Amino acid sequence: MKQYDAIIIGSGQAGVPLSKKLANAGKKTLLIEKSVVGGTCINDGCTPTKTMIASARIAYLAGLCNDMGITIKGYKVDLAQVKKRKDGIVKQFREGAQSSIEKTPNLDLVFGEAAFESAKIITVKLKNGKTSQVTADQIFINTGAKTIIPNDIEGINEIDYLTSHSILELDKVPEHLLIIGGNYIGLEFGQMFHRFGSKVTVLEKSQQLLFREDEDISAEITRVLKDEGMKIYTNAKTTKFKQKEKGKITATVQVAGEEIKIKCTHVLIAIGRAPQTATLGLEKAGIKTGKKGEILVNTKLQTNVKGIYALGDVNGGPAFTHISYNDYIIVYRNLIEKQNLSTRNRPIPYCMFTDPELGRVGITEKEAREKGLNIKVAKLPMSRVARALETGDTRGLMKAVVDADTKKILGVAVVGVEGGEIMTVLQMAMMGGITYDKIRYCVFAHPTYSESLNNLFMTLED
């Protein structure tokens, strides 16, 4: 049995930098990866999807260019070429990450599936079929999450459904893509493939798309997608799939209590993701998990077992790359730099990269009112943003929830071109305690999107 100071299971956005930092700090470190280096973000998340979304946006702009005084005739979408470009960028990122691991002294990289034998011993089933055992005093779990497949839909296993991973391998545009789930993953893929030329239908079981967002934000995103031609059903529950001839699929759906049938060629399952813990043998180590299989951790990302930590999506926290990376920073700095960092009260910014994108941070208006806070709400349609008018895209709105007494910004939602960048300006204001009245009179460069934050907070004076 080989002895290490630290073992990391999973090479995601926490595992890779943590492994290198621990090794550089003098710890003999082992990184175990069952598939390929980079985790969800590089391989079937952020990197490939945003690369393809960029191609889809070009197709969308080509269709609009006549309104801008530019004529483009006969453009077409070549999904095989889109995929080739995506695969090249993924390969570049993945190989870069693996190369940096392999060049790091004190760091071993092993490809295989890891499972606990005890709190300190791990068995690794290698890709060649052999097994080995390793041990360490400190073990870090960064195995991420995977697509949830609903088991209450009749006939789901009779169709060749797509997930957020397998849909990236398509090299031909689906004729009709049916998406089960109206949140971030489903909406990004839906708009992308609609712009590539697919007919797209989205089914969301809640009363609105993006059910965690305020109603006005959801309504704006819904309007944008419907205006592009996507079909959207809310209060929709899929009950049955039936495989037909020539690759056709019929879905039976209850919409607001009424049964309808939808014929499609492809089905994307996008109802959510669950932590990948089933094969880890956590019970042998005595590691506690939650209802969804997530590894339970404290604010220092420690499990109930001394010396074992869980980082990223596997611990059930916000499933974002930047949160996984911040988990690594907290753990590393606490262990090596002897800091006292925690996840308590850290900002949780996030973006949905539809076009226009949604940037969000802080609490929603709904959450603020449920807490009984004394708030004001500032809203500004993008049609009143000079930069949006000049560039020809006035879809969306800016929204901020502020404390009426302290004038501090409590939450922000921006739907619009560069929505994430605009949101980030206000996130930094929130972190620095800058009140909305200071931003109201701040000098911003003209003409920029952020300049209209003056106008956003001016609405609170009306």
Give the number of other CB atoms < 10 A from CB of residue 171: 11
- In order of 11, 21, 55, 278, 332, the CA distances from 105 in angstroms are 17, 11, 39, 32, 17
* Order of strands across the sheet that contains 258-264: 236-243, 249-255, 258-264
Please give the structure tokens belonging to residue 458.
Answer: 């001016």
d(CA 277, CA 323): 19
- CB contact at 8 A, 3 and 135: yes
- CB contact at 8 A, 209 and 182: yes
Catalytic member of 194, 266, 322, 446: 446
Long-range contacts of 368-377 (CB under 8 A, 24+ apart): 368/401, 368/410, 368/411, 373/403, 373/410, 374/403, 374/404, 374/405, 375/401, 375/402, 375/403, 375/404, 375/410, 376/401, 376/402, 376/404, 376/460, 377/401, 377/402
- Going by their DSSP bridges, the two strands 231-233 and 199-203 should be labelled as parallel
- CB contact at 8 A, 183 and 206: no
Peptide bond into 17 cis (omega under 30): no
| Of 27, 101, 12, 94, residue with least CA distance to 311 | 12
Q: Kindly give, in sequence order, each residue whose CB lies less than 8 Å from that of residue 298, ignoring residues fewer than 6 positions away.
A: none
Residue 322 a catalytic site member:
no
Catalytic machinery residues: 446
